[in-house]
């Protein structure tokens, strides 16, 4: 059973006061007002699709982080913390920070210098049209699918938490997103992501603070968690030597599958994220954006993981997803339950607004990325090559509305076929992991050829899809994929990403070695060793991205040691 389906059988959690409703209505009015205001600033393609490439490092960085910080993410990882303990923190540290720093320090210069509009656009410049078409179509498909699933999940959560009709939630949120992104384009999406970032901290920060007061501080909380569960729930790495831990995955899967492949694939090649970096005003801001985001990302566990851990102590009887019935609550609802526990009138409205803002900005991020890829990487090269800039902006606005409508359709399909929810992580591994192989080899190795890039991406994607179908049809296959009979389903998705990335890399390398290399002049501005990266001579240490990346890297290591 889908965790969210199980969530649906629990009773309504909260009733909103007039003050709470006023806060929610004010949020909707504000985002629509911002969209209307920004319409005048979105007349050219650069404005609409790239936010005029004028974002500061802080705005691009906060937006970069917030695009990933949807409400499903908040609720999902709070629930994971209740289920797996502090091991869930890996999703925010090892599975994010190294990849974000790598993007900022190593990859951004190539994306930025070639002035591409998108990741598929980079593949066109580096390889050829078929490689771009393959990645653009798979990205567009994945993006609207994810957007629809998120929309359905939001409607379900609002139905359960507040008793709102699902049709009402879907249409109100979808129309709001369609209006503000359709009017203001990427700039509008970025504005609302930054607003969401502030709302999430404003709405969620109180929960861990009051929770720690109630449980007597961190050390007392740990002792009570150990008493209620086991010592494995309070150590990040100590029990990762085997699959015998709450997560059922060992350190190899976490470090290489989750930390290297899945994380690097998502943070460095998913256009939903990279688009925010490309909108920065200059190369330094573009490099700083993911580094700033990494700095904030390290502290997200305080408002996401800690509520789940507190739940283990103050709400010790939440049931597993498939057991939640007859009035019992599932741990999938641990975050809203903690919100209701501590937040009185007004604060509850702010918390619910933060969740709605998270859902809507996640949807807006997907839709704005879809509009860009559809217009620049599918419509322009394959349907109408010689349109005016004004024409493409119009196509962008309409494709925003089209993306929202397809997402609504996907949401209703998901409502009918709930098992789709179980496939989300696997689909992500299929499309994103091989793409990372194609991009990173193209960017770092001059010898990679056009044919190598295309066939590596195609074979990697097809083999990932085949492995996915294999273990979905035969669950026993997980033991072969993850190389252990103790592996749990989560390990299967992680190892699926690892194998499909390896297959992509091997095929790309082999095909490249047997095909004609590209002349170096074609690789200028695109590949390491053929691109002159602007030097930062004469720049003070405090303004150097590499310095801040080192600072964030040191804090990351220290945090892992503290919670080892």
Which positions lie near another protein, rule CB under 8 A? 17, 19, 22-23, 26-27, 30, 34, 37-38, 40-41, 54-56, 59, 187, 191, 194-195, 198-199, 202, 206, 210, 213-214, 314, 340-347, 349-350, 353
By C-beta, is 320 or 344 nearer to another protein?
Answer: 344
Q: Which residues contact 392 (CB under 8 A, 6 or more apart)?
A: 45, 375, 376, 379, 380
Q: Which residues contact 275 (CB under 8 A, 6 or more apart)?
A: 50, 118, 186, 368, 369, 372
By C-beta, is 353 or 463 nearer to another protein?
Answer: 353
CB of 214 to another protein, least distance (A): 6
Q: Which residues contact 506 (CB under 8 A, 6 or more apart)?
A: none
CB of 24 to another protein, least distance (A): 10
By C-beta, is 53 or 124 nearer to another protein?
Answer: 53
CB of 494 to another protein, least distance (A): 37
Question: Please, are residues 128 and 515 in contact by the beta-carbon 8 Å criterion?
Answer: no
By C-beta, is 259 or 349 nearer to another protein?
Answer: 349
CB of 205 to another protein, least distance (A): 9
* Helix (H) / strand (E) containing 379: none
Nearest CA-CA partner of 150 in 354, 472, 408, 474: 408
**Rounded distance between C-alpha atoms, residue 557 and residue 545, angstroms:** 18
By C-beta, is 213 or 231 nearer to another protein?
Answer: 213
Query: Could you please report the per-residue DSSP string of 294-353?
Result: HHHHTTTHHHHHHHHHHHHHHSTTPBPGGG--TTPPBGGGHHHHHHHHH--TTHHHHHHH
3-state secondary structure of 55: strand
CB of 346 to another protein, least distance (A): 3
Across the strands, what pairs with 330? 319
Give me the torsion for CA of 309, 310, 314, 317, rounded to 10°: -20
Q: Rounded to 5 degrees, what angle do the CA atoms 89, 90, 96 make?
A: 110
3-state secondary structure of 516: coil
Q: Rounded to 5 degrees, what angle do the CA atoms 350, 410, 31 make?
A: 30
By C-beta, is 195 or 293 nearer to another protein?
Answer: 195
CB of 183 to another protein, least distance (A): 13
3-state secondary structure of 148: helix
Helices H / strands E in the chain, number of each = 26, 0
By C-beta, is 193 or 377 nearer to another protein?
Answer: 193
By C-beta, is 281 or 488 nearer to another protein?
Answer: 281
Query: For residue 322, what is the DSSP state?
Result: G
Query: For residue 402, what is the DSSP state?
Result: H
By C-beta, is 140 or 315 nearer to another protein?
Answer: 315
CB of 496 to another protein, least distance (A): 39
CB of 345 to another protein, least distance (A): 4
Structure tokens at 400: 């925003």
By C-beta, is 38 or 96 nearer to another protein?
Answer: 38
CB of 458 to another protein, least distance (A): 40
By C-beta, is 283 or 550 nearer to another protein?
Answer: 283
Question: Please, are residues 299 and 197 in contact by the beta-carbon 8 Å criterion?
Answer: no
3-state secondary structure of 325: coil
Question: Please, are residues 444 and 214 in contact by the beta-carbon 8 Å criterion?
Answer: no
By C-beta, is 204 or 234 nearer to another protein?
Answer: 204
The single residue listed with the structure tokens 């080899």 is 441
Across the strands, what pairs with 280? 55
Report the b/e string of 300-315 with b at 16+ CB within 10 A: bbbbbbbbbbbbbbbb
CB of 349 to another protein, least distance (A): 8
Q: Rounded to 5 degrees, what angle do the CA atoms 503, 110, 439 make?
A: 10
Q: Which residues contact 394 (CB under 8 A, 6 or more apart)?
A: none
Nearest CA-CA partner of 119 in 143, 95, 144: 143
CB of 69 to another protein, least distance (A): 16
User: What ranges in 119-165 are assigned the alpha helix state H?
Assistant: 119-126, 129-162
CB of 223 to another protein, least distance (A): 20
By C-beta, is 312 or 497 nearer to another protein?
Answer: 312
CA atoms within 13 A on the CB side of 100: 31
By C-beta, is 339 or 505 nearer to another protein?
Answer: 339
CB of 147 to another protein, least distance (A): 23
CB of 315 to another protein, least distance (A): 11
């Amino acid at each position: 059973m889908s965790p969210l389906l199980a969530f649906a059988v629990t009773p309504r959690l909260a009733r909103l006061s007039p003050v709470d409703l006023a806060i929610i209505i004010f949020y909707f009015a504000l985002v629509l007002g911002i969209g209307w205001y920004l319409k005048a600033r979105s007349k050219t393609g650069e404005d609409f699709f790239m936010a005029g490439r004028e974002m500061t490092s802080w705005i691009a960085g906060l937006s970069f982080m917030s695009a990933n910080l949807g409400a499903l993410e908040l609720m999902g990882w709070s629930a994971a913390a209740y289920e797996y303990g502090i091991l869930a923190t890996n999703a925010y540290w090892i599975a994010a920070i190294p990849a974000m720093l790598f993007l900022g320090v190593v990859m951004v210069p190539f994306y930025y210098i070639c002035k591409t509009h998108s990741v598929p656009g980079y593949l066109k410049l580096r390889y050829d049209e078929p490689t771009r078409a393959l990645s653009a179509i798979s990205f567009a498909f994945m993006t609207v699918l994810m957007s629809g699933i998120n929309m359905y999940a939001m409607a379900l959560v609002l139905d359960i938490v507040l008793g709102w009709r699902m049709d009402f939630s879907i249409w109100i949120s979808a129309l709001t997103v369609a209006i503000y992104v359709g009017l203001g384009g990427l700039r509008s999406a970025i504005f609302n992501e930054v607003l969401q970032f502030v709302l999430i901290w404003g709405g969620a920060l109180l929960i861990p603070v009051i929770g720690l007061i109630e449980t007597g501080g961190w050390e007392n909380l740990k002792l009570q968690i150990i008493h209620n569960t086991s010592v494995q729930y309070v150590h990040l790495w100590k029990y990762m030597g085997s699959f015998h831990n709450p997560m059922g995955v060992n350190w190899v899967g976490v470090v290489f599958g989750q930390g290297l492949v899945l994380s690097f694939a998502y943070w460095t090649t998913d256009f939903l994220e990279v688009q925010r970096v490309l909108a920065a005003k200059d190369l330094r801001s573009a490099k700083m954006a993911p580094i700033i985001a990494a700095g904030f990302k390290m502290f997200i566990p305080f408002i996401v993981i800690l509520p789940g851990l507190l739940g283990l102590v103050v709400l010790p009887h939440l049931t597993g997803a498939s057991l939640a019935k007859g009035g019992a609550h599932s741990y999938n609802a641990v975050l809203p339950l903690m919100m209701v526990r501590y937040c009185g009138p007004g604060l509850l409205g702010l918390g619910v607004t933060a969740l709605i803002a998270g859902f809507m900005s996640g949807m807006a991020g997907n839709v704005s990325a879809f509009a860009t890829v559809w217009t620049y990487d599918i419509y322009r090269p394959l349907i109408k090559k010689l349109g005016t800039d004004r024409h493409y902006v119009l196509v962008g606005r309409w494709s925003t509305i089209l993306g929202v409508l397809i997402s609504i359709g996907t949401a209703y399909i998901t409502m009918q076929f709930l098992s789709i929810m179980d496939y989300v992580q696997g689909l992500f591994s299929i499309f994103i992991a091989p793409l990372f192989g194609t991009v990173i080899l193209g960017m770092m190795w001059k010898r990679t050829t056009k044919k190598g890039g295309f066939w590596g991406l195609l074979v990697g994607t097809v083999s990932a899809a085949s492995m996915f179908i294999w273990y979905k049809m035969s669950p026993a296959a997980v033991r072969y994929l993850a190389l252990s009979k103790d592996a749990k389903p989560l390990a299967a998705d992680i190892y699926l990403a690892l194998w499909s990335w390896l297959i992509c890399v091997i095929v790309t390398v082999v095909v490249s070695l047997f095909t004609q290399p590209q002349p170096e002049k074609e690789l200028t501005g695109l590949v390491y060793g053929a691109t002159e990266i602007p030097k930062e001579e004469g720049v003070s240490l405090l303004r150097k991205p590499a310095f801040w990346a080192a600072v964030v890297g040191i804090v990351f290591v220290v945090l892992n040691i503290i919670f080892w």
